[in-house]
Structure 1
């Protein structure tokens, strides 16, 4: 374990050294490749009140992050709940599978910005379209993973449960879903990752406070160091969330990879 942690730390240090060397060589103007020191300075400025200005755009960096995490959490939770329910039905009922599989695939292949404008027309420019966008982005990966996992549950499990007295309506949540849980959790990890990659698109309209909104606003004024800071914050928080999801997976399905 310590060796793995050491390798991760070494990789981060190596990437930081490469970044510093490229910025110090001045191969490109700083507006293209800001130095680590410049990004660190923006981290300090956006995390505090200075010269009468509070953070960036009137919000501290932590407030931008929390606003984005709240949207990601809501969109992901709705998408995961809807994806698991939809995946169970699609996996268990062939008729529903034939009807809904093309629709799920269609939505899964659409880029978020393709339908965000439509969500704004329907829901306005406040929180609902942002959460709805993340929900639509997170639902298909969970639905596909759940449906495939449900279809892969061995029939012997169902027969054994029925012989032990389980009712037909109990099979989906007593047998099918627990058996499919490893693949479902993989779908959840993918869905949360998709929600993270979509949050910048979700916050392009009225997205402040929000990391995506901060990035979008900084891009307008060529504040590359703020853009890089926002990307680093999203990546670091996403890495932390994925680590927590992996820990949850090990807790819920300890047999994965061992049987």
Structure 2
């Protein structure tokens, strides 16, 4: 209750400071709209008004849902590729020599660096957006998996070998379960990277999509709609991370315990 009250108080102070800045006219109204104007924009983008459906022909929930679907697909494919890749890098040293630099190279690239190339290769439909998210999300998952596999306690491996475990059994029954906590951390980081990348992905034919909605609003100086989009991204990102934490707690209940 105290934490909830403290957060509510902090939010109230923030809104009051925001409104005071608008009253003092520190910036032009077109640049910094009031909280009331942002609330009106939220209602406008979430409903059909005067025959107009939301923003750019779609409701806010539709824009957000499309972006979340893209993030889910992209991160899902990234996990399917990144976890086995990380296991191979962590276990097979010759492969690590070849693959680890490539993973590090991709991990340092900003998504906009290869978005244009993906558009040339795959066009402007869904494919370049999904590929962008896969490429952005795969390296952190692979890196986290590889690091986790390498830090599995040697006592566990020796005990499994003493019981007659084969290399495949060691990988699937010992290394992978022991690495699961760090793998979940890598997946959470990848989801965050994918969410920051989806706005870049949706700059090209991204409607419906929260990034496409923000881009269209920016073209017409609709700052209130841009702020609505930013808040929608932030709040949904918090909820998504909370869901991933709950899934991690259910799948890895021993994390944090001796």
Q: Deviations over 1:32-60 (max 9, x none)?
A: 11111111111111111111111111111
Give 1:207's aligned residue: 206
Q: Deviations over 1:85-134 (max 9, x none)?
A: 11000000111111011111111111101100000001110001001101
When the two structures are superposed, what TM-score results if normalisation uses the length of structure 1? Answer: 0.96
Give 2:101's aligned residue: 102
Aligned ranges for residues 114-129 of structure 1 at < 5 Å?
114-129=113-128
Give 2:243's aligned residue: 244
Work out the CA distance in 2 between the residues paired with 1:77 and 1:4.
Answer: 34
* C-alpha displacement of 1:248: 1.7
Work out the CA distance in 1 between the residues paired with 2:11 and 2:165.
Answer: 52
Work out the CA distance in 2 between the residues paired with 1:20 and 1:95.
Answer: 60
Aligned ranges for residues 1-259 of structure 1 at < 5 Å?
2-259=1-258
> How many pairs does the alignment contain?
258
Work out the CA distance in 1 between the residues paired with 2:61 and 2:152.
Answer: 44
* C-alpha displacement of 1:181: 1.0
Work out the CA distance in 1 between the residues paired with 2:78 and 2:10.
Answer: 33
1:170–1:6 CA distance, 2 compared to 1 (3 A): farther
Gapped regions of structure 1 (runs ≥ 5): none
Provide the alpha-carbon RMSD of the alignment. 1.3
Work out the CA distance in 2 between the residues paired with 1:231 and 1:154.
Answer: 43
Work out the CA distance in 2 between the residues paired with 1:245 and 1:214.
Answer: 26
* C-alpha displacement of 1:247: 1.5
Gapped regions of structure 2 (runs ≥ 5): none
Work out the CA distance in 2 between the residues paired with 1:247 and 1:108.
Answer: 27
Work out the CA distance in 2 between the residues paired with 1:24 and 1:178.
Answer: 56
Q: Deviations over 1:54-75 (max 9, x none)?
A: 1111111111111111101101
Work out the CA distance in 2 between the residues paired with 1:56 and 1:206.
Answer: 15
